[in-house]
Amino acid sequence: MIKLRNKDIDKLAEIINFPSVQIHQLIAMKLIDQREAINLLIKTFYKKLKTEKYATRHIIAAIMDEYSVSRAKVQSIIYNKRQNEYHCQKCGKKIIQSEYVRNNKICDSCVAKDIHLY
Ligand SMILES: [Zn+2]
């Protein structure tokens, strides 16, 4: 069962521009879907960190650690996708399963970028 922590509620208040005291009240009355609230926090953190030039795989790892969720879960939230879709762990591009498996979770262009001829 996902539960919002105080720091999550404070961040949520900031994101939706709504007093955290009232969010606490809504949670107590079970009027907030805490799972959806966490999803919103994850999406918001991802977008913010992406503009700070962090690599997608690092951002995902940080989110997994913070919210104790799986990589697939984070990916499904940030890409708004079903969990059976595959994304390059370096650049986030959607790739087909065979490419994902063959390249060890990296897309063909990221594999190519890692090859240094000199
Ligand atoms: Zn890639």
Strand, helix or coil for residue 29: coil
How many Å lie between the centroid of ligand 1 and the Cα of residue 107? 4
Residue pLDDT, tens place only, 45-70: 999 999 998 999 999 999 999 999 99
Given a cut of 80, is residue 2 above it in pLDDT?
A: no
102 CA to centre of ligand 1 in angstroms: 13
Ligand 1 centroid, distance to 110 Cα (angstroms) = 4
92-104 confidence digits (pLDDT tens): 898 998 999 999 9
Alpha helices in the chain (DSSP H): 6-16, 20-28, 34-51, 56-67, 71-78, 97-102, 108-113
CA 92 to ligand 1 center in whole angstroms: 6
**Span from the CA of 96 to the centroid of ligand 1 (angstroms):** 12
Domain boundaries, given as residue ranges, for the chain? 85-118
